[in-house]
C-alpha cells in the first residue's frame, strides 16, 4: 500500500466517529455481509460514514493491509478498527456495540 | 475449488488444541461458515481471535475463500463437546 492510499484511509477514518468500508452503498449494498453491517448500524440509529470499496481497487486492497484484516466490511469507531460483520453482530447482541458508538 | 474440510484441517494443524466445525452452506466452495476453538484464544479479544484464524488460513483468505462467517470460542465455552 502506498502512502497516499494509507493517508486516504486514515483521513476517512479520522473524519467520522463511525466509519464503514463496505461493498456497495448503505442504500444499495452489494454483498450480504455489508448489508448486515449496515442493518446493525441503522438499527442503532447511528450516523456513519461509508466508502464503497468496489469503486476503488487501491482502497479495497489497502484497507485490508491497514487493519490486518482480510475481508470487507470493516467497521471503525473512534479511529479504531472494531471488526467485520460477525464481530459487529456478536457485539450488537451483547449490547457492546451500542456502548462503543455512544462512547 | 476449496472445501470446508480443507479449512478445518488447516485450522486444526496450525492452531493449538483447535477444534473447528466448517460448513459450506451454499455448496459453492467460496462462502464458508466456521466455529472454532483453540487454547491460543485465551486472553485475546475477538478481533485477535479472528486474526489468528485468518492468519492460519494465510493466502487462502485472499484467494480461494471469498467469505468466512466466523464464530470463535474459548475452549471452556466450546458448545460442541463430545458427549
The whole-angstrom distance between B62's CA and the closest CA on chain A is 7
pLDDT tens sequence across A31-73: 999 999 999 999 999 999 999 999 999 999 999 999 889 999 9
pLDDT tens sequence across B24-78: 999 999 899 999 999 999 999 999 999 999 999 998 988 889 889 999 999 999 9
Instruction: Answer yes or no: do A86 and B54 touch at CB < 8 A.
Output: no
Rounded CA-CA distance B36/B70 in Å is 8
> Which structural domain, as residue segments, surrounds residue B61?
4-76
Task: Sort out which chain B residues have CB atoms less than 8 A from A86's CB and list them.
Answer: 50, 69-71
Task: Answer whether A64's CB lies under 8 Å from A57's CB.
Answer: no
Assigned domain for B14 exists: yes
Confidence of residue B83 (pLDDT cuts 50, 70, 90): low
ipTM, two decimals, is 0.70
Task: Sort out which chain B residues have CB atoms less than 8 A from A69's CB and list them.
Answer: 47, 50-51, 54
- Nearest by CB to residue A86, choosing from B51, B62, B71, is B71
Instruction: Answer yes or no: do B67 and A87 touch at CB < 8 A.
Output: no
Number of domains chain B is built from: 1
- Nearest by CB to residue A70, choosing from B46, B62, B69, is B62
Assigned domain for B27 exists: yes
A-B Cβ pairs (cutoff 8 Å, strict): 31
Assigned domain for B69 exists: yes
> What's the whole-model pTM score?
0.84
Strand ranges, E, within chain A: 18-22, 24-25, 28-29, 49-52, 74-77, 80-83
Q: What is the CATH number of the domain that holds B10?
A: 3.30.300.90
Pick the CATH number of A3-102 from 1.10.760.10, 3.40.50.1470, 3.40.30.10, 3.40.50.620: 3.40.30.10
Amino acid at each position: 500500500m502506498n502512502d497516499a492510499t494509507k493517508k486516504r484511509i486514515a483521513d476517512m477514518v479520522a473524519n467520522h466517529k463511525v466509519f464503514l468500508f463496505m461493498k456497495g452503498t448503505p442504500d444499495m449494498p452489494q454483498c450480504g455481509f455489508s448489508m448486515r453491517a449496515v442493518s446493525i448500524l441503522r438499527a442503532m440509529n447511528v450516523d456513519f460514514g461509508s466508502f464503497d470499496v468496489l469503486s476503488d481497487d487501491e482502497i479495497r486492497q489497502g484497507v485490508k493491509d491497514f487493519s490486518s484484516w482480510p475481508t470487507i466490511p470493516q467497521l471503525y469507531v473512534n479511529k479504531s478498527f472494531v471488526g467485520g460483520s460477525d464481530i459487529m453482530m456478536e457485539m450488537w447482541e451483547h449490547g457492546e456495540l451500542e456502548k462503543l458508538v455512544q462512547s | 475449488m476449496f472445501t470446508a474440510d480443507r479449512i478445518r484441517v488447516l485450522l486444526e494443524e496450525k492452531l493449538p488444541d483447535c477444534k473447528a466445525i466448517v460448513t459450506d452452506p451454499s455448496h459453492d466452495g467460496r462462502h464458508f461458515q466456521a466455529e472454532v476453538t483453540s487454547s491460543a484464544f485465551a486472553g485475546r479479544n475477538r478481533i485477535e481471535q479472528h486474526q489468528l484464524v485468518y492468519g492460519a488460513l494465510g493466502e487462502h483468505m485472499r484467494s480461494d475463500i471469498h467469505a468466512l462467517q466466523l464464530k470463535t470460542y474459548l475452549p471452556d465455552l466450546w458448545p460442541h463437546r463430545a458427549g
